[in-house]
Structure 1
Amino acid sequence: MAVSEAPVPPELLDLLDRVPLPGGGPRSVEELPGGLTNRNYKVVTPAGAYVVRVQASDGALLAIDRDAEHASSLAAAAAGVGAPVHAYLPELGVLVVEYLPTRAFTEADLRDPANLPRVAEACRRLHAGPRFPRDFDMFEVQRRYLEIVRERGFRLPARYLDFMPDAAKIRKCLAVRAEGTVPCNNDLLPGNILDDGERLWLIDYEYAGNNDPCFELGNIWSESALPPGHLEELVTAYYGRRLRHKIARARLLGLMSKYGWTLWAAIQDGANDAIDFDFWSWGMEKYERAVAEFTGGGLTDLMNEAARSD
């Protein structure tokens, strides 16, 4: 039986008793911060420390495939950038990975230019690893999310549909210099980047899929609302030299990140009452930044830059 360091619901303790952990049953349990579609617990046994991730929703509306998440987590561990996987119990909605003695990044860490080459190196390790079982294309994800929002009558931000023609132009522009896909995390919020003092680790593979590497870089920039110069440094560190068309490409995919994840928030706002979180405000912050980019006057120049060679 688990002994909790803080009050833990009895149903969780019962669940943990069913999870096969090295060293026997849990010795102590501590809830970890973060996670909007999972509850994460640090569980210590005589054999070591583990993170038990318990899904907080089925994820079907958000296009989360738990089997693909498990396979991608294994691939990321094989690449040397993800936590080792110890158990997967889909019938319980549980994934168990090794607890890494690290510190989670914050937006302040990503705003420190000294960390950008480290982030780029971690992304390169992941991207050079085994391919994931599925693909991720934000243009397709955004389309599916929009269908769900409209079919279910969820709230849609004002003027959201006005920018769909711009999104179509961006997609067409990016197809001109498409260079294939690599295994990407696609959701590198600061809290999904861990620092052990020497190297960085990337965690949480719910949205993992083979994707354009510039989406990974643009999404990192977008999620932390970094200055444009930081994206240029991140892209340059990733490719080893300054490539104007790659910087523009990452900018455009960072814009699509904001535009697409806005609908993720709209779906969570309308469908998820199990988690006490203001999804709508979270999404609107992204949407307002997306609108500023759509209407800021530089979109055509960015598309031209992304389509031409350096």
Structure 2
Amino acid sequence: MTEVPPLDRLATLAGRSWRVQELPGGLTNTNFHVTGDDGLDPVIDVVVRWSQGDATLLGIDRDAEAFNTAAAADAGVGADVLEYRPDLSMLVISFLPGRSLDNADFADPGVLARAASATRELHAGPRFQGDFDMFTRRAAYLSTVQERGYGLPPGYLDHADAWDAVRRALAVRAQPTVPCNNDLLAANFIDDGTRCRLIDYEYSGNNDACFELGNTATECDLTPEQVEAYTEAYFGTPTRADLARVRLQMLVSEYGWSLWGFIQAAASPIDYDFEGWGMERYEKAVATLRGPDLRRLLEDVVS
């Protein structure tokens, strides 16, 4: 097991008897499931998120993460925040029963519908602390890469004009922002067979709902048919502009997050192929940037 943080310093666990198990996943933190029944109330069944690495490099605000995690719980789709200890780089939340999804699960229409429903509930909940805009985030990531001499995907800067065209098109009919997780990959959906709930609010902030949908669509490798079905499950009766907006936000997610991978490749202490992670997203973005559908999507999104 990975090194375990000083869990006994948490008020939630101090003086209690408990067991700890590391949970899979987490590329900027390590998660531990802590359980115990020592006859005291309440029974211990919590997750401790232990942050690692330089959060400022990636634009992570840990205070906002804790606030927004609690807001998601208030919306009915997140885990309760039990304790926040920034001095220990730890956040304690309630354990959510169910299983983390994987990409293949989205082939099930029931899973797709539950995921869309949970996303809609989050977006209808209390406003988050802070805003998230991938165009702003990508510019900050690019500055970090260039100022520190980190590697860039080959040809990354060749797409500046197309990137700006996407930004301008999305701004024409910009929608009011809603509280978004902004990192709803499959593993961040916890499904108990009846409903989904959502975890991991490191990158949360108020944002365009279609970025949320587009980010999930690309992170979960949804087929074009599944993207359409997911958009329909969220909107009910999406317009052509809605569908184009989700498709363009898939591209925005891919192009922006690819730089996250290259920053992590250079700076993270975690043993993981971050460059490969970034290249996978960059290559997806390039396929759209150079593909035959971009012009139509730019036209549809402003229609």
How does the TM-score come out when normalised to structure 2?
A: 0.96
Q: Does 1:271 align with 2:262?
A: no
Q: Does 1:137 align with 2:133?
A: yes
Q: Deviations over 1:101-126 (max 9, x none)?
A: 21000001123233222111101100
Identity value in percent: 50
- Pick from 200, 206, 218: which aligns with 1:210? 206
Separation in 2, partners of 1:253, 1:296: 15
Q: Does 1:60 align with 2:56?
A: yes
- Pick from 18, 25, 28: which aligns with 2:19? 28
1:49-198 equivalences in 2 (<5 Å): 49-198=45-194
Q: Does 1:302 align with 2:297?
A: yes
Aligned residues: 298
Q: Does 1:290 align with 2:290?
A: no
Native 8 Å contact 2:128 2:179 kept in 1: yes
1:189 Cα offset (Å): 0.8
Separation in 2, partners of 1:264, 1:188: 16
Native 8 Å contact 2:181 2:205 kept in 1: yes
Separation in 1, partners of 2:25, 2:126: 27
Unaligned runs of 5+ in 1: 1-6
Amino acid at match of 1:298: D
Amino acid at match of 2:61: D
Native 8 Å contact 2:8 2:14 kept in 1: no
Separation in 2, partners of 1:72, 1:60: 18
Q: Deviations over 1:231-288 (max 9, x none)?
A: 111111111113110110010011010000000001001111x211000011101111
1:128 Cα offset (Å): 0.5
1:289 Cα offset (Å): 1.0
Native 8 Å contact 1:138 1:257 kept in 2: yes
Amino acid at match of 1:30: Q
Native 8 Å contact 1:24 1:45 kept in 2: no
Separation in 2, partners of 1:8, 1:202: 25
Separation in 1, partners of 2:17, 2:294: 53
Q: Deviations over 1:80-137 (max 9, x none)?
A: 0000110000000000000112100000112323322211110110000000010000
Root-mean-square deviation (CA, aligned residues, Å) is 1.3
Native 8 Å contact 1:22 1:45 kept in 2: no
Separation in 1, partners of 2:191, 2:17: 26
Runs of 4+ in 1 over 6 A off after TM superposition: none
Separation in 2, partners of 1:275, 1:75: 29
Native 8 Å contact 1:193 1:201 kept in 2: yes
Unaligned runs of 5+ in 2: 38-42
Match of 2:8 in 1: 17
Secondary structure at 2:301 match in 1: helix
1:24 Cα offset (Å): 4.1
Separation in 2, partners of 1:145, 1:55: 20
